[in-house]
Amino acid sequence: MVNPVLLIVVPLGLAFLVPLFGLISKKTGKYFPILALLFNLLLTIKIFPQVLSEPIHVNIGGFTPPFCINLVAGPLGILLAFLIALVGLLVAIYALSYIKEKNEEKYHILYLLLLTGATGVVLTGDVFNLFVFFEILCISSYALVGYFGDKAGVESAIKYLIQGALGSGFILIGIGLLYGQFGTLNMADIASNIHSVEPISIFVPLVLMITGFGVEAAIFPLNAWLPDAHSSAPSSISAILSGIAIEVGLYAVVRIVFTVFGASSIMMFLLFLGVLTLLTGELSAFNQENIKRMLAYSSIGQIGLIVFALSIANMNGITGGLFQLISHTLGKALLFLAVGYMIVHTGSMNISSFEGMGKKMPYTSFFFTIGALSLVGLPPFIGFPSKFMIVKAAIFKQEILYTVLIILVLTATVVEAAYFFKVIQAIYFKGEAKKEKRNRAPFKVLIPLFIFAGLILIVGIYPKLITNILESSAAELISRTDYIKSLIP
């Protein structure tokens, strides 16, 4: 049996080693993320069949919980770790030729540390450890957003940093209040004692922690940093931020609300927040001129949809929410990577400068179209079964409120289709008719795009490939007593 600690420790050790190799030769830095993420990918595939039946618990330091830190590798954790490793590997291959600055080894160190922090967040079983790994994720993303050092990047980075640091402060106050009331920091321990105090005194830590993690998860009033940060970062980093960082932030919120607090009364509030986030995101994306800003607002909208699905809080809803999370990660990463090279070739981020791209960069435009159609939710791509599952879950509740909200969700989908079709129309059907010189993206860049598009197509046609994994993950979230019992017999 392999130890899931290696998922966190091996990338960390390799990240510490990179500066040493950088002293010898500057060119070896860019292969380290690929090595580390390949190892992570193979390890998660190997552990997968085992965790579907029973989660693996790892104690760090040789003591017994709650007197030590423990990792809980359940189906949800390993699924997200697999997703992080897969998307990270593909974007690292893309970045081999996309990042060409002088200091490029520092980019790769920060990139590897971001993914290590994300893997740590999804695998941990201790509240303060969650905070520490979450900070690793956040600080690397602050540095990476401002990596190019230009005017827009630095301004977005400082605004992101201040809001993120404020959120981290709130999380710490929440952890302090929790420790003061329960005397322990282990998630299962707190979860088993949570109902022994009055609800009013755990309401404040719950709200503080949702606010703190919600800054990174981009829930409605807290996402003012997102459009600036995702549009000014380098395109490979925008793909990672939109595809992994906000999903991991959302995982932290979900873990706190479902497993630690077991709060079913706050679901209604989260339901409305989700729909509000969805509407503001999609409507703001509609009249954007800058393509990356448009994709950033679309990310806000999709996160709103995932929050809505997760707050329905029955089996179908949570499975649909997790499915939508996977579909958004794959689709948005594909879109940002494709757009990255289009921007390199035209030199501008306006949609109007993409006219005629269909002939100049045929493969890249084709992959962009696949990503866009998948995000809108058309068959045979992965967006269709995920959105269908969410709609089915809401209708099964058979209450008038959910029906009204589903109509709002479908309206937002129509708006989404409108602005994506605007871009596709500009790429394919506009532009001069004279023969342009073909300007294909380099081959190394097309491989990750091809793999993403392939996965979107395959899982879209056979969603049964992953539905049983998603159902085990949803079962882990819903039945918190099983989580507690497996730790404290």
Partner 1 sequence: MRKLLGIILLAVIAAGIALSLEEIPFGISKTIIGDYFNKNGVEETGATNMVTSVVVSYRGFDTLGEITVLFTAAIGLGALLTGHKKREHSDKVEPSSLIVYTGCRFLFPVLMLVGTYIFIHGHLTPGGGFQGGAIVASGFLLMYLGCKGKRIKFKASKVIEVLGGLIFVGLGIAGLTMGEDFLFNFLPKGEAGELFSAGIIPIIYIGIGLKVGSELAGIIDNLIEEST
Partner 2 sequence: MSFAEFLNNYMYYIGAFGLIFIGLFILLTKKNLVKVIIGLSIMDTGIYLFLIAIGYVHEGTAPIFSKPGLNAEGMVDPVPQALVLTAIVIGVAILALALTLAVKLYKHYGTLNLRKIKEQKW
Q: Is 349 helix (H, G, I), strand (E, B) or coil?
A: coil
DSSP state letter for 197: S
* Residue 162 interacting partner from partner 2, partner 1, none (CB closer than 5 to 8 Å by kind): partner 2
Residues in the chain: 489
Sign of CA dihedral 20, 23, 25, 27: positive
Binding to partner 1 in span 4-43, by CB under 8 A: 5-6, 9, 12-13, 15-17, 19-20, 23
Q: Is 69 helix (H, G, I), strand (E, B) or coil?
A: strand
Q: Around Cβ 78, how many Cβ atoms within 10 Å? A: 26
- 391, two tokens: 């709609």
Residue from the set 31, 39, 48, 203 that interacts with partner 1 by CB under 8 A = 203
Residue from the set 7, 86, 139, 312 that interacts with partner 1 by CB under 8 A = 139
Of 107 and 258, nearer to partner 1 (C-beta) is: 107
Q: Does 149 contact partner 1 by CB under 8 A? A: yes
To the nearest 10°, the Cα dihedral for 4, 6, 8, 13? 170
CA separation for the pair 415, 139 (Å, rounded): 34
Q: Does 67 contact partner 1 by CB under 8 A? A: yes
Q: Does 62 contact partner 1 by CB under 8 A? A: yes
Distance of CA 230 to the CA centre of its chain: 13
Q: H or E element: which one contains 403?
A: helix 400-429
CA separation for the pair 310, 397 (Å, rounded): 13
Binding to partner 1 in span 211-250, by CB under 8 A: none
Q: Which residue has the tokens 């380099």?
A: 442
* Residue 175 interacting partner from partner 2, partner 1, none (CB closer than 5 to 8 Å by kind): partner 2
Q: How far is the CB of 255 from partner 1 (least distance, A)?
A: 17
Q: How far is the CB of 258 from partner 2 (least distance, A)?
A: 24
Binding to partner 1 in span 68-87, by CB under 8 A: 68-69
Q: How far is the CB of 40 from partner 2 (least distance, A)?
A: 24
DSSP state letter for 62: S
Q: Does 136 contact partner 1 by CB under 8 A? A: yes
Q: Around Cβ 109, how many Cβ atoms within 10 Å? A: 22
Q: Does 378 contact partner 1 by CB under 8 A? A: no
Q: Does 159 contact partner 1 by CB under 8 A? A: no
Q: How far is the CB of 138 from partner 2 (least distance, A)?
A: 9
Cβ–Cβ < 8 Å for 137, 114: yes
Q: Does 184 contact partner 1 by CB under 8 A? A: yes
Q: Does 265 contact partner 1 by CB under 8 A? A: no
Burial call 259-273: b when 16+ CB within 10 Å, e when fewer: bbbebeebeeebbeb
Name the site residues for partner 2 (rule: CB under 8 A).
128, 132, 135, 139, 142-143, 146, 149-152, 154-158, 161-162, 165-166, 168-169, 172-173, 175-176, 179-180, 185, 227-228, 232
What number of chain residues touch partner 1 (CB under 8 A)? 64
Position 415, amino acid = V
* Residue 271 interacting partner from partner 1, partner 2, none (CB closer than 5 to 8 Å by kind): none
Residue from the set 82, 147, 297, 452 that interacts with partner 1 by CB under 8 A = 147
